[in-house]
Chains A and B, each alone.
Chain A
């Protein structure tokens, strides 16, 4: 009799344990953004002295899980993927005698990044930056690019660099 009572108690404990596991079990998510996270950079985005703009620069990006090294970067969204850009940072240096028209980024360099003055240096250079949360999409085989336009021909060199985070999503 005592054995049966003990056995019954153990069974109840087991059932409660299994039930608790069921209630607390999270929904299994098969495509977590972080597991497909991407980091990208756009270098040498700038305008030489005497010019108002240049042609757009192609940005490069790679999985955050790839080891460092230029060979891991790609310039086009891989086949069967959509790139979702979620976070963008830009940093620019220009002369205080020049004016930005716009810094454009994204698919076909269509997206303006709002630049804010961060620092005035004694040598007449100014630092601007932009930080934004965003939601931009780029389909397979497309490039991400960036370009700077000044309001008139620059007196001095303007240079910008952009970095971004996002993730890949499988098209199917």
Chain B
């Protein structure tokens, strides 16, 4: 009889413990990336006639809700990781030239596929665009850069403009 009473008491205590765990379960916020969102640009990535490779352009980025120029970054701030989530590119070249590769670099280089948008009749100027979701990470202190190469020495000027969105994550 006493043995059974003991069992009952133990089961009762366990029930209360388990229920207490349920009630005190912490709440998790799932969407914080928007609160630390950043956007950036890589402007004037260019090749001139006779060149095969562009300059390597350092891409600035800043919080979308920035309040001061001090928040314009050229490197990932200390204690943060940059997560690039969305990338878009617009490139121009002459139809007698060919792009070999357009690159976006956060420490590791990513090749950006391009799609021909149109060829301007008369001038032969071609517009290529790309827009893609990505997941790229850059550690604190890292630069974000962009560049491109041509199939051969370019006959005419070519250029690309890169823009991206992402967010910063605290390392700790």
Binding site for B on A (CB under 8 A): 1, 4-5, 7-8, 11-12, 14-15, 18-19, 21-22, 25, 27-33, 82, 84, 99-102, 107, 110-116, 130, 132-140, 142, 151-152, 169, 171-172
B165 touches A135 (CB 8 A): yes
Q: Nearest 10 A-B pairs (CB), nearest first?
A: A139-B65, A137-B37, A151-B120, A169-B34, A99-B118, A135-B85, A82-B34, A135-B86, A112-B129, A11-B11
A11 touches B64 (CB 8 A): no
Please give, as numbers and ranges, the residues of chain A lying within 8 Å of B39 by CB-CB distance.
Answer: 107, 137
At the interface, yes or no: B117 with Cβ under 8 Å from chain A?
yes
* A11-B8 contact in complex given A19-B18, A135-B133, C-beta closer than 8 Å: yes
The number of chain B residues touching the other chain, given as a range, is 35 or more
**Knowing that A11-B15, A30-B27, A31-B29 are A-B contacts, what are 8 other residue pairs whose CB atoms are under 8 Å apart, sorted by A's residue number?**
A8-B7, A22-B19, A31-B30, A110-B163, A130-B131, A132-B133, A137-B34, A137-B37
Binding site for A on B (CB under 8 A): 1, 4-5, 7-8, 11-12, 14-15, 18-19, 21-22, 25, 27-31, 34-35, 37, 39, 41, 64-65, 85-86, 88-90, 115, 117-123, 125, 127, 129-133, 163, 165-167
